[in-house]
Amino acid sequence: MKQQLHTLIQSFHGSYEPLLFNELFAACCAWVKLERNGEIDGQNQTLEEVFRNPSFSSFYQKSLTDEKLASTVERLTSSMQELVGAGVVTYQDLSETITHLCQSAGRQVGALSHPQELLDLGVQLLEGQVTSVYCPFNAGYQFGQNVQSGGEIVCETMNMTDAFLGQVHNLLLDKSVDIIATDPIKTPKLIGEGGLKQFSSAVAMPPFGVKYGKDEVHDIWGRFPEKSLMGDVYHLRHMLAHADLVVCYVTNGFLFRTAAGEKHFKQDIVEKNWLKAVISLPGNLLTDTSIPVSVVVIDKNKTDDQITFIDASSDHFIEKLGRVKNKLSDVEQVLKLVNSEETTVFSKRCSVRDVEEMDFNWSPNRYVQSEEEAELSSFLSQFKTAKLSDVADIVRLQAIKHDENGTETFIEHNLTSLNAIGQLAGEGKKLQVSSKDINKAKKQQVKPHDVLVSCRGAVGRIALIDENVPTNTLASQAFAIVRIKPHVEGITSLSLYQYLVSYYGQLQFSGLVTGTTAQMLNAKDLGDMPIPLFEHEKLEVFDSIRAKTLDYQQQLNKIESAMKQLSSSWIDQVQ
């Protein structure tokens, strides 16, 4: 931002809310350009007359009844006129300042502007198919204004401030992006012959976290074969109804969620061979959210049967702008990886069958091996392996309600009960269970030699149940019980426990974790984990290791007890 504009903003911003000041500043920018174009006469018109002038009111339709606001607009416009007239500030500078105000205003206004590097990535992924481009949702005009094309570019946005800002940028930059104020999902306005208007491509960053109620979307255009709570499916289906090539930013949660509508959508796109690429990006790129996002590229005219997964979430693709703010770097490398046929440390080309075997999970980290994951594969290759579900029964646990009038008592243990060697060392929580929940509780009782795997929150915490566990012991719903099947060779509870707590076991868990706010490990991923099997003599090693571990733990307990006693012994000595 030019220093003169920064000083001007500091002088006039005052106590105005960010959104209001952004609108006022943009309105003043429009006034400056329109007056210098001769479309309004600010010198000989009152403020009220300027605001009623058709050229100006087509941009800014609000009236200024507040004297303070009116004074701010007049003085701010006058100062900007002087800066532009003196050649100190250009219209490009004014446009960039409006963008900066949006991006620096935080969550309230940040969604109305996207980082330039994400605009560049989105537009370049269109790969020249820009004869006509559709850019719906918030700040879609920013994608449109970055497209180098003489063709038609159209945006739809339901946010009136967004539409206003887009029109001001059009004016300042001499762009001709068509901006329509409407809800693209509920009331699309771009109708062509035989249905929705068709474009050569579409690019967008729809609002994240949007949910649509069961009866909220009434669609007459046949866009939505799936029903979904989250908006990602609706946003993508809407764009696909308008274009054959779609580039869309989504949250990472969409990539791995298995809710019916989302899974059906992902399965349909993969089986039709439309999915071209999925690119995961670092977190903290956006001003309105810290969550990491990804780019999905869908092409109905794709000719090969390969899907490119790119993991661009590592530090290699991050330029630090502050303690909690990142910038995507090396966009050119990301674009090269999209069209590369080689497997790299950041990318992998996969078949439709590969994605089917992953249950249509689109997360790149399921396909692109990091150095650590390559190390894990090398380690496991030394052994015969089996899926965990083939060698053990896995019991996913449910919440058991406490009932003051319950007829039976159980002790429930959660993560806080685990000690350093995986024992249930805490007292646990006493539960009185009613007769209607008795059967459910008994099915969830832990048994000697069970292995407990934490699947929620601190995923990968492991417990090994001792021989003398009380029969009324329950594990909380954060765990899954893993119980080795009878007569299975090559594995014991001890060998499984030692592997899961090892560096390699924990590495496996880290690659399977899903969730953006709360970490989760789903049942299928747990069951599909490859587990090393060992020769009989090797299994005896684990017995020896556990015996030594228990002995060391007893020694530590004695030392801790002695230290506690020593800490309080001074009282007797000084009295």
Q: What is the pLDDT of residue 123?
A: 97
- Could you report how far apart the first and last alpha carbons of the chain are, in Å? 71
Residues 485, 471: Cα–Cα separation, whole Å: 20
- Rounded to the nearest 10 degrees, what angle do helices 331-339 and 116-124 cross at? 20
Q: Is 503 helix (H, G, I), strand (E, B) or coil?
A: helix
Length of the chain: 575
Q: What is the pLDDT of residue 573?
A: 73
Q: What are the CA-CA distances from residue 485 to residues 13, 58, 278, 313, 469 (Å)?
A: 69, 73, 39, 39, 19
Instruction: Identify any residues that bridge with 450 across adjacent strands, giving them in sequence order.
Output: none
Burial of 463 (0-12, 13-18, 19+ CB in 10 A): buried
Burial of 38 (0-12, 13-18, 19+ CB in 10 A): exposed
Residues 517, 504: Cα–Cα separation, whole Å: 25
- Phi and psi of 148, rounded to 5°? -90, 85
Residues 24, 8: Cα–Cα separation, whole Å: 13
Tokens 């592997």 belong to which residue? Answer: 499
Q: What is the pLDDT of residue 387?
A: 96
Residue 122 has, within 13 A of its CA and on its CB side, a CA count of 32
Q: Is 15 helix (H, G, I), strand (E, B) or coil?
A: coil
Q: What is the pLDDT of residue 63?
A: 65
425 within 8 A of 513, measured Cβ to Cβ: no
Q: What is the pLDDT of residue 549?
A: 93
The whole-model pTM stands at: 0.80
Q: What is the pLDDT of residue 72?
A: 87
- Phi and psi of 495, rounded to 5°? -65, -35
**Domains of the chain (ranges, CATH numbers):** 3-103 (no CATH), 114-213+221-368 (3.40.50.150), 389-537 (3.90.220.20)
* Residue 562 CB contacts under 8 Å (≥ 6 apart), including other chains: none
Q: What is the pLDDT along the chain (575 residues), one digit of tens a residue?
A: 889 999 999 998 888 888 888 988 999 999 899 989 988 877 777 777 777 777 777 767 666 667 778 888 889 999 999 999 999 999 999 999 999 998 887 666 667 899 999 999 999 999 999 999 999 999 999 999 999 888 999 999 999 989 999 999 999 999 999 999 999 999 999 999 889 999 999 999 999 989 998 788 889 999 999 989 899 999 999 999 999 999 999 999 999 988 889 999 999 999 999 999 999 999 999 988 888 899 999 999 999 999 999 999 999 999 998 888 899 999 999 999 999 999 899 999 999 999 999 999 999 999 998 888 889 999 999 999 999 999 999 999 999 999 999 989 999 999 999 999 999 988 899 999 998 999 999 989 999 999 999 999 899 999 999 999 999 999 999 999 999 999 999 999 999 999 999 999 999 998 888 876 678 898 989 999 999 999 999 999 999 999 999 999 999 989 989 998 888 877 777 76
Give the tokens for residue 110.
Answer: 């940040």
Is the backbone of residue 515 left (phi > 0), alpha (psi -120 to 50) or beta?
Answer: left
Give which of 113, 109, 111 is closest to 99, Cα–Cα: 113
